[in-house]
Structure 1
Amino acid sequence: MQGLSGFARTKIFRELMRRRSVIAISASLFCCLQPSEAPSQLSLQVSRASSPEEPITAIPAPPAIDPLKVKLGERLFNDTRLSGDNSRSCSSCHDIGTNGASTRRHDVGLDGAELPLNTLTVFNSALSFRFGWEGKYRNVEADVTASLVNPKIMGSSLADIAEKLDRDAGMRAGFFAAYGRRPDAGNVVDAIVSFEQTLFTPGSRFDRWLAGDNAALTDEERNGYRLFKSLGCVSCHQGVNVGGNLYQRHGIFHPLAAPDPAILRVPSLRNVATTAPYFHDGSAPTLDDAVRKMAFAQLNATLTDQQVQALVAYLHSLTGQYRGVPVGGGP
């Protein structure tokens, strides 16, 4: 592919994607990189006015949900009684105060052993079409339930959780206020789901650019987005969550990371600059490293330093805000 023109490489790559369900996905990194063109005109202006139908849409406002259920769900999200041995809460691995995940390559299970896959962020997760790296769960309810009962994660049962919470007069009052009844398996899950459905992070500089603020992005970031589209990254990372809406295969030309699982759900790139390390096994410590490895593994190609720099700059523009504060404390 190195001797072909940019147009020819693009055509070949798209056909390969169609036939082989290409592209491995990182623990918050994009796919479909292709070295078809270097950013020879780094001052090129890309604006919404010149591209009125962008493949990515801005994060919407969170849905209107009963605030009593949301407040109760947030309390539960931080309650260690949800785990079988009362040692951990949902926020132990999904830190809402930082990136919605953790900074570890692998979080540790109840038995002290590392979990097999890197922790995905909970921010904007409700916008994805499936949940978990392998996309085993079709909705937020199934994802929450699976985490609560997984013996390696929370190691509990819905009945035990409800019983423990019911013994707390304050918590019981909270359930009566939100649901009109004591805690039970159904409303425990529903309250957590209600909270997670509010964990949207609008207000990124890229979303402001999509809304028409051309000054929201630098020249380099706009060129990174141009590359993101022209190289084919948007083939897998598009829509409101910049990913999260299809499955793909990894290791097309060279191994990318751990070989299993071979098929992964494409992760969202929202707030990707805050969620290092990357890939499903957490083996890429930085965005720069992850971008280069993706290009080599998926396209048998090496990107220039300029390409990598521009793409990484664009990815930084996807950092949104939660409760008025940038996710991860970043720009």
Structure 2
Amino acid sequence: MSSRLPYLLLLPMLGLGLSLGAAPLDEPLKPLPPRPQQDPQRVELGRQLFNETRLSVNGTLSCASCHHLAKGGADDKAFSIGFAGAPVPLNTPSVFNASLNFRQFWNGRADTLEAQIQEVVQSPSEMGSNWDHVVQTLSADAAYRGAFAAAYPDGVTMNNVQNALATYERTLISSHSRFDQYLSGNTDILSREEKYGYQRFKSYGCIACHQGVNIGGNMFQKFGVMGDYFQVRGKPLESDLGRYLVTGDEEDRNVFKVPSLRNVAVTAPYFHDSSANTLEEAVDVMFKFQLGRVPSAEDKILIIKFLETLTGEWEGKPL
């Protein structure tokens, strides 16, 4: 920054001084909740199923094929590759913290993780299977028969496969981000620039949509509030219709679930259409088409620094 004086004047307001204790901060955003307690047998069964390629019709694709837990829980490709070798129509969101979203899929067509799992297995562009085939395949495996019998009184069923997978996914909480530690009272863990970036995130209005414990994922919003994003981008696609494909309501045209910003620094590319390859590009699009504002170059840098503090951990390692 050109001068340190503005920061020094803002110290009391921004809480930039030394931490005096571990009391949680009174902020509109809150830390992620602890990983929920789940039946350990069902969690382990779900973990195995998450990595099971036999959920797909030709045994080539598992949940983990597109949701890389070591890389933010998403896919580094613009569009994941389905069982038949063709790309799926929308960018794959992170599976981390998905249980905290109010709906699943970009257009919110699934109310629960179980409903999402049911659809993905049957999707002609994703796993291409059917549930009778999945149940028969797993039932033919003695190890799975035993694991299901131990976890569920009625053994291998469609509902139990979905429940086991959803139970495991509910444990995929990317806790301990530096921002969460800051919210929990460790105010020294963020740099001055990162704290100031958080303030700019709030003052520009980003927090109006990226809100709640998941910093998004709890509302629908039109993509292109302050301008026609799709006209500027060109080459309209059916997937651009968003929630309109679910409801048929004209007001839902180009409306999508607001994505969570947690782990956003490690889950490029961005948006349903993967049109932004970097955080810088994504922030530019959001300012232009959602806020109708032009940030200063310094403010944009600060906001990106804040977004980078949202990267959590999995199994004790940063994502």
TM bucket by the smaller chain? Answer: 0.7 to 0.9
Identity of aligned residues (%): 40
> Equivalent residues in 2 for 1:119-268 (5 A)?
119-256=92-229, 259-261=240-242, 262-268=254-260
Partner of 1:41 in structure 2?
6
Q: What does residue 35 of structure 1 align with?
A: none
Which residue of 275, 284, 290 corresponds with 2:276?
284
State how far apart, in whole Å, the 1-side matches of 2:6 and 2:160 are: 56
Q: Which residue of 2 aligns with 1:269?
A: 261
Q: Give TM-score scaled by structure 1 length.
A: 0.83
Distance 1:291 1:122 in 2: 22
Larger deviation, residues 49-58 vs 80-89: 49-58
Per-residue deviation, 1:299: 3.4
| TM superposition shift of 1:79 | 0.5
Counterpart residue number, 1:315: 307
In 2, distance between residues paired with 1:253 and 1:182? 52
Work out the CA distance in 2 between the residues paired with 1:235 and 1:249.
13
Relative contact order higher in (CA < 8 Å, ≥ 6 apart): 1
Any idea what the Cα deviations from partners look like across 1:69-101, whole Å, max 9, x if unmatched? 000000000000000111110111111121101
SS in 2 for 1:183: coil
Letter in 2 for 1:234: I
Q: Is the 8 A contact 2:61 2:82 kept in 1?
A: no
Per-residue deviation, 1:51: 9.9
Q: In 2, Cα distance between the equivalents of 1:203 and 1:185? A: 34
Distance (Å, rounded) in 2 between the aligned partners of 1:40 and 1:51: 28
DSSP 3-state at the match of 1:70: helix
CA distance in 2 between counterparts of 1:205 and 1:129 reads 24
Kindly report which structure 2 residues correspond to 1:47-86, keeping only aligned pairs within 5 A, or say none. 47=15, 52-86=25-59
Q: CA–CA distance in 2 between the matches of 1:284 and 1:204?
A: 24
| Counterparts of 1:152 and 1:104, CA distance in 2 | 16
When normalised by structure 2's length, the TM-score is 0.86
Rounded Cα–Cα distance in structure 2 between residues aligned with 1:198 and 1:158:
24
Q: 2:169 and 2:302 mapped to 1: Cα distance?
A: 32
- Structure 1 gaps, min length 5: 1-38
Partners of 1:170 and 1:52 lie apart in 2 by 48
Partner of 1:91: 64
- Give 1:41's aligned amino acid: P
Choose between structure 1 and 2: higher helix proportion.
2
Contact 1:205–1:319 at 8 Å: present in 2 too? yes
CA distance in 2: counterparts of 1:142 and 1:42, whole angstroms: 48
- Cα distance, 1:40–1:125 mapped onto 2, change above 3 Å: farther
Aligned structure 1 segments of 4 or more residues deviating by more than 4 angstroms: 48-52
Could you list the per-position Cα deviations for residues 221-278 of structure 1 after superposition, in whole angstroms to 9, with x for gaps in the alignment? 1001001111111111111100110000012333435643200001111111110001
The amino acid of 1:317's aligned partner reads: T
CA RMSD of aligned residues (A): 2.0
Query: What displacement does 1:321 show?
Result: 0.8
State the distance in 2 between where 1:157 and 1:47 align. Answer: 54
Deviations 1:107-149 (A, max 9, x none): 1223333211100000000001101100111111111111111
Cα-to-partner distance string for 1:161-202 (whole Å, 9 max, x where unaligned):
111011111111111111134311111111101100100011
Mapped contact 2:51–2:64 kept (Cα < 8 A): yes
